[in-house]
Amino acid sequence: MESNRIRVVVADDHALIIEGLKLVLGRDDIDVVGVASTGRQAVEVVLACEPDVLLLDIRMPDVDGLQALAAIKSSRPQTSVIVLTSYANPEYMARALSLGASGFLSKSVEPENIPRAVRAVVSGDSIVDRELLRSAMHALSEITRPTASRTETDAPDLTPQEMRVLSLIAEGLDNNAIAELLSISRNTVKSHVHSVLAKLGVSDRTQAAMWAMRHGLVA
């Protein structure tokens, strides 16, 4: 096993789903280093295997996926979590993102999109469906919005270009789409995203998107 290969844990209470994901990921040179069939097992396996990415179902025995997500992000925040579920609705997604998930996908997604999503979160891209993201962010902002409008002091030291990048992140655009829209290189976008995350004090682009929604940057 090559040390630079992406390491994934799959947590789902259906063995057929687990075997299918192992097959799809293996074909794309992504290593499944552990599996779990309950939420409690998901936490234990992640802590033992230290994967780059966890593919996590929501409805599982003993501890549900959202409870497991909270425990995992508290104990091992560097593991990116993609919630992969049959229940792809904005309420579930809003809760998952607020707990630190890096993405949210329906199990009805085309199989070839799963490895693509895993690689995307490892590189820092967003893999949440754009319309679901906007719906979830609006739902979340109604609950957590601290102020009615944004002020200049709410965005510490963000340059005008960084503000544009942040607004496009909140719209659900990935780095390639942002680069094309702003007519800049993808590496420049990645640099801007890194700077935005650092200045806002958040760990990933989904948290940055939530910040933008809460502060009125996106209507």
Which of 117, 131, 75 minimizes the C-alpha distance to 99? 75
Encode pLDDT of 2-56 as tens digits.
558 999 999 999 999 999 999 999 999 999 999 999 999 999 999 999 999 999 9
Q: For strands 7-11 and 53-56, give the pairing.
A: parallel
In this prediction the pTM is 0.71
| CATH number where 51 lies | 3.40.50.2300
Contacts of residue 210, Cβ cutoff 8 Å, sequence gap at least 6: 97, 98, 137, 140, 141, 144
- In angstroms, the CA 73 to CA 38 distance is 17
Q: Which of 135, 170, 201 is the last residue of a domain?
A: 135
| Torsion over CA: 25, 112, 180, 161 (sign) | negative
Contacts of residue 55, Cβ cutoff 8 Å, sequence gap at least 6: 8, 9, 10, 11, 12, 21, 82, 84, 114, 118
Question: Which of 68-72, 83-87, 138-142 is modeled with the greatest confidence?
Answer: 68-72
Domain containing residue 201: 147-214
Question: Is residue 95 a part of any domain in this protein?
Answer: yes
106 and 24 within one domain: yes
- In angstroms, the CA 15 to CA 20 distance is 9
Encode pLDDT of 178-213 as tens digits.
999 999 998 999 999 999 999 998 877 777 877 887
Q: Which of 86, 109, 135 is the last residue of a domain?
A: 135
| CATH number where 155 lies | 1.10.10.10
Encode pLDDT of 85-117 as tens digits.
886 677 777 788 788 888 888 888 888 889 988
209 and 127 within one domain: no
Amino acid at position 100, single letter: G
131 and 27 within one domain: yes
